[in-house]
Amino acid sequence: AQSVTQPDIHITVSEGASLELRCNYSYGATPYLFWYVQSPGQGLQLLLKYFSGDTLVQGIKGFEAEFKRSQSSFNLRKPSVHWSDAAEYFCAVGALGGSQGNLIFGKGTKLSVKP
C-alpha cells in the first residue's frame, strides 16, 4: 500500500541551529515527492518537489531535500533555522501533471523554534 511516514510528531530546535525532518515513503511506481508547509490558520504551501534528475532539490525559504531511493527517504533540511520557520511540515508522494492522482500525505511534523 502507498504510504508516507513522518516519524517525528514534534521537533524543537534553537534558532540558528540546523534542521532535518524525516520522511519515508512506500510507493509502487517511481515516486514524485513533495514537502509542504502549513503555518497556523494557513493553507499548504509548496516548499519543494522532486520528480527526476538530481536527487538533491532546492526549495523556497532556504530548504532542501534529498531523495534516497535505497532508503525510500526524502528528508527535508535547512542549515540555519529562523523563528519564522515554526510551522507544520508535511511530506507527500504522488504523481505530477497530466491526469495525476491524489497526493498521499504524512501525518506532519510540527516544528517549534526556541529563541
User: Residue numbers of the site for other proteins (CB under 8 A)?
Assistant: 34, 36, 41-46, 49, 51, 90, 92, 94, 96-108
Q: How far is the CB of 114 from other proteins (least distance, A)?
A: 24
Cell of 93: 508522494
CA-wise closest residue to 75 among 54, 56, 88, 53: 56
Q: How far is the CB of 12 from other proteins (least distance, A)?
A: 19
Instruction: Pick between residue 53 and residue 115 the one whose CB is nearest to other proteins.
Output: 53
Q: How far is the CB of 68 from other proteins (least distance, A)?
A: 20
CB 78 within 8 A of CB 19: yes
CB 61 within 8 A of CB 44: no
